Chains A and B, each alone.
Chain A
């Protein structure tokens, strides 16, 4: 309710502020030109008025005294923390001159364009990069590119489209829509959905489904709120998820529990898969995973015999030793049970109205930027020539190849980096010290962000201040409904939106004329492909579902809505869901799924295990932070003040570690300082730690960089473990460590 002197603007949250993958409808309360409150929009079908702590704290984020609100240039050495305020004209002129000079001397490909997690930034950054002529779009240091793209690539290869849990999110009336069916079982695979909106999925939709009758199967190395409410909890050894998937396929196939009609009509390669999974009987899988065989059998039976059921999966799937292979095996589970694009199963997710903000496929990149440009640039895209799957799926650089190229200058040198909303050193990168050493040698680095962080302090030559979601216009089509973000207030001081910054620079740097006078014209052109407009969406409260057709569920394979030729079937080489993947085969990969042991584990490196007898799994999410963000926001930090790792009481007792004690977590690669949370929710042989910890209240200058080397768990992870496809293969989720006491 707005007070008499307030106005309310309805908008969609994603991007800086809440920071999250987003999609929530919000009411922005404005008084005297300032945001005074951010609440949930009760009429928005994504969240029905609910909002997470990060959304509720946006006003503290916007008006934080440490926010950078003017362009800055570095005047001391990198890391000295000496900055001088400059005008936007000077900033743009400097960047234009430098980047043109580098392009003339070394080619556009010598500049990398770096983003963090998937938000609206994927739109403006690719726009700028292609205008400049570089193919090198990258999440620097994201080992194995382990964030959703391996899963997307596996689904693209297997079924030609993407699937998510059907929590009714593709239907305007949501849970009341008669077409929707409650999933009988939901498998929560390697994800605790409570803390956020992973991959655009509002975590509490799972609770909505539970209230309507969904039961749970949880696959997670630790006990969670969900696991204690589940019928079955497979508490597996970290890194062995692929074996679980193959073991479940073994049970479902050998016991004849699969959907015979669906398999007969709509799939390819069943016999080959059947033969392959014979290598993974439940007893053997039990030995690999530490999960009792009878629980694996029970989970497989419950899932296969209760249709519709659905699988929700998390980032650890990507991070497995063979991420794109584990994802393929899990995809086979929902396909072999016929839980694909059916109500209550794994529904096919499409961008709303066919509109693109953040390109999720090669097809979308081609639509936006033209076949010739995408194809030509691919010739020089880092990692594309080493990995056919990297080359043929989306437009990313392979980050493990990039770090080597930055170090060796082969096959060509990297000279500059455009880093936009990405904290590489303090969050995203495995082995952050290695990235720091490599990147500080680059000739020119621009950081676009909202706060100083370890990366900007260590590396930036120019700092450009970006806006939060409340100070800019944007649009969102990941997945549905189609949403717009409205500008609720003017930009804080001299901050500019990412879209405005990138459009201005694109005009200055492009080799082809750019027709858009402003970002709104670009939005309108893209929204027009969906037969709608920004104002139309804004006037309807900021969102709209697509009309009937290929963007609406269900059973689109039967109705000829998935393939370019309009024929029934799936958009794959055989027109079927491919258990035996023709695309993997074409890319030089095993067409069938298999299990691969983590590179460092009790099994593969018993010598290391003797010295480092605990398994470390990183990336545990906090409900009040998004990755490396928000540590400076008082309302949020109060709720999660310290970097804490979880350890089982028996293990803590053996090590003489008390609850709340600060200790070192050490691996072969280094050590960091964390506080012990002694809890029975931990597996006795596994410790879990959150990522992205740095202390904004400490010295930001070299060598401290906001204490990032002390508390960034990625000091213990490494690059160069990528799988055969280039997608997946990291030690974020499974490596070996030990705990040592801090002696003063």
Chain B
């Protein structure tokens, strides 16, 4: 079985929080518990201020086992408003990463 993960093109992550609430809903997590968190990163360049958002999977991420076994996308991937997340075998995600700057692969499991 190949290991699956999440590919995130964070260049386009807008910090909209949909992945976090989708995750909370899918797993009915209680307060403070969630499978993915988005952090804001502000950096000050010579000519402008930059804002990036970085999603990070927590130890509670199960890559939406119930959803993906049924052939669906994880809840975060499905609802990502910027459409900057993908789910699949890590070996394939690394190929996508070759072509995309400012991206990460997360392998929570």
- Chain A residue with minimal CB distance to B13? A225
B105, chain A: closest CB distance, angstroms: 20
Inter-chain contact B15/A225, CB cutoff 8 Å: yes
A210 and B26 alpha carbons, distance in the complex (Å):
30
Q: Known contacts being A50-B18, A56-B25, is A1 close to B82, with CB within 8 Å?
A: no
Inter-chain contact B49/A56, CB cutoff 8 Å: no
Q: Is A639 an interface residue (CB 8 A)?
A: yes
Inter-chain contact B25/A635, CB cutoff 8 Å: yes
Q: Known contacts being A1-B70, A639-B17, A680-B42, is A223 close to B51, with CB within 8 Å?
A: yes
Complex interface: chain B residues within 8 A of A194 (CB): 14-16
Inter-chain contact B79/A639, CB cutoff 8 Å: no
- Chain B residue with minimal CB distance to A636? B21
Q: Known contacts being A223-B49, A681-B51, is A207 close to B17, with CB within 8 Å?
A: no
Complex interface: chain B residues within 8 A of A57 (CB): 21, 25
Q: Is A440 an interface residue (CB 8 A)?
A: no
Tell me what chain B mostly uses at the interface: helix, strand, loop, or mixed: mixed
Partner of A639, one of B20, B42, B50, B82: B20
Partner of B12, one of A37, A38, A211: A211
Candidate in B15, B16, B21, B79 with the most chain A CB atoms within 10 angstroms: B21
Complex interface: chain B residues within 8 A of A210 (CB): 12
Q: Is A42 an interface residue (CB 8 A)?
A: yes
Q: B90-109: contact bitstring with A at CB < 8 Å (1 yes, 0 no)?
A: 00000000000000000000
Q: Is B83 an interface residue (CB 8 A)?
A: yes
A51 and B26 alpha carbons, distance in the complex (Å):
13
Interface positions of A from 39 to 59, Cβ below 8 Å from B: 39-40, 42, 48-53, 56-57, 59
Inter-chain contact B22/A51, CB cutoff 8 Å: yes
Inter-chain contact A204/B49, CB cutoff 8 Å: no
Complex interface: chain A residues within 8 A of B70 (CB): 1
Complex interface: chain A residues within 8 A of B46 (CB): none
Candidate in B15, B16, B50, B70 with the most chain A CB atoms within 10 angstroms: B16
- Chain A residue with minimal CB distance to B14? A194
Complex interface: chain A residues within 8 A of B79 (CB): 39-40, 49-51, 56
Interface positions of A from 666 to 712, Cβ below 8 Å from B: 679-681
A209, chain B: closest CB distance, angstroms: 12
Complex interface: chain A residues within 8 A of B83 (CB): 48, 50, 204, 207-208, 211
Complex interface: chain A residues within 8 A of B72 (CB): 1
A210 and B70 alpha carbons, distance in the complex (Å):
33
Q: Is A550 an interface residue (CB 8 A)?
A: no
Q: Is A354 an interface residue (CB 8 A)?
A: no
Q: A184-197: contact bitstring with B at CB < 8 Å (1 yes, 0 no)?
A: 00000000001100
Inter-chain contact B25/A204, CB cutoff 8 Å: no
Interface positions of B from 11 to 45, Cβ below 8 Å from A: 12, 14-18, 20-22, 24-26, 31-32, 42, 44
A204 and B18 alpha carbons, distance in the complex (Å):
12
Q: Known contacts being A1-B72, A223-B48, is A52 close to B16, with CB within 8 Å?
A: yes
Q: A219-236: contact bitstring with B at CB < 8 Å (1 yes, 0 no)?
A: 000011101100001000
Q: For the complex, count residues of B whose C-beta is within 8 A of A.
A: 32
Complex interface: chain B residues within 8 A of A213 (CB): none
Complex interface: chain A residues within 8 A of B44 (CB): 680
Complex interface: chain A residues within 8 A of B8 (CB): none
A227 and B42 alpha carbons, distance in the complex (Å):
13
Q: A17-43: contact bitstring with B at CB < 8 Å (1 yes, 0 no)?
A: 000000000000000000001111010
Q: Known contacts being A1-B71, A224-B51, A680-B42, is A56 close to B21, with CB within 8 Å?
A: yes
- Chain A residue with minimal CB distance to B24? A635
Inter-chain contact A225/B42, CB cutoff 8 Å: no
Inter-chain contact A204/B16, CB cutoff 8 Å: yes
Q: Is A549 an interface residue (CB 8 A)?
A: no
Complex interface: chain B residues within 8 A of A665 (CB): none
Inter-chain contact A50/B32, CB cutoff 8 Å: no
Q: B66-79: contact bitstring with A at CB < 8 Å (1 yes, 0 no)?
A: 01001110010011
B100, chain A: closest CB distance, angstroms: 11
Q: Is B4 an interface residue (CB 8 A)?
A: no
Inter-chain contact A204/B14, CB cutoff 8 Å: yes
Partner of A624, one of B21, B26, B48: B21
B3, chain A: closest CB distance, angstroms: 23
Q: Is A634 an interface residue (CB 8 A)?
A: yes
Complex interface: chain B residues within 8 A of A680 (CB): 42, 44, 49
Q: Is B57 an interface residue (CB 8 A)?
A: no
Inter-chain contact B78/A204, CB cutoff 8 Å: no
A303 and B78 alpha carbons, distance in the complex (Å):
35
Inter-chain contact A679/B42, CB cutoff 8 Å: yes
Candidate in A42, A210, A223, A233 with the most chain B CB atoms within 10 angstroms: A223
A224 and B42 alpha carbons, distance in the complex (Å):
10
Complex interface: chain A residues within 8 A of B20 (CB): 53, 639
Q: Known contacts being A56-B22, A228-B48, is A40 close to B78, with CB within 8 Å?
A: yes
- Chain A residue with minimal CB distance to B48? A228
Q: Is A84 an interface residue (CB 8 A)?
A: no
- Chain B residue with minimal CB distance to A227? B48
- Chain B residue with minimal CB distance to A682? B49
Interface positions of A from 393 to 414, Cβ below 8 Å from B: none
B85, chain A: closest CB distance, angstroms: 11
Complex interface: chain B residues within 8 A of A211 (CB): 12, 83
Inter-chain contact A59/B25, CB cutoff 8 Å: yes
Q: Is A623 an interface residue (CB 8 A)?
A: yes
Partner of A50, one of B21, B24, B51, B80: B80
Inter-chain contact A228/B50, CB cutoff 8 Å: yes
B44, chain A: closest CB distance, angstroms: 5
Candidate in B20, B26, B67 with the most chain A CB atoms within 10 angstroms: B20
Interface positions of A from 589 to 626, Cβ below 8 Å from B: 623-624
Candidate in B44, B53, B83 with the most chain A CB atoms within 10 angstroms: B83
A258, chain B: closest CB distance, angstroms: 30
A223 and B18 alpha carbons, distance in the complex (Å):
22
- Give the interface of B toward A (CB within 8 A): 12, 14-18, 20-22, 24-26, 31-32, 42, 44, 48-51, 53, 67, 70-72, 75, 78-83
Seed contacts A37-B25, A49-B78, A635-B25; 16 additional CB < 8 Å A-B pairs? A39-B22, A39-B75, A40-B78, A52-B18, A53-B17, A204-B16, A204-B81, A207-B12, A224-B51, A225-B14, A225-B51, A227-B48, A623-B15, A624-B21, A638-B32, A639-B17
8 nearest interchain CB pairs?
A53-B21, A223-B49, A204-B81, A56-B21, A228-B50, A194-B14, A1-B70, A50-B81
Q: What are 20 A-B residue pairs whose CB atoms fall within 8 Å in the complex?
A: A1-B71, A37-B25, A37-B26, A39-B75, A48-B83, A50-B18, A51-B81, A52-B18, A53-B16, A53-B21, A204-B83, A207-B12, A207-B14, A211-B12, A223-B49, A223-B51, A228-B48, A228-B51, A623-B16, A639-B21
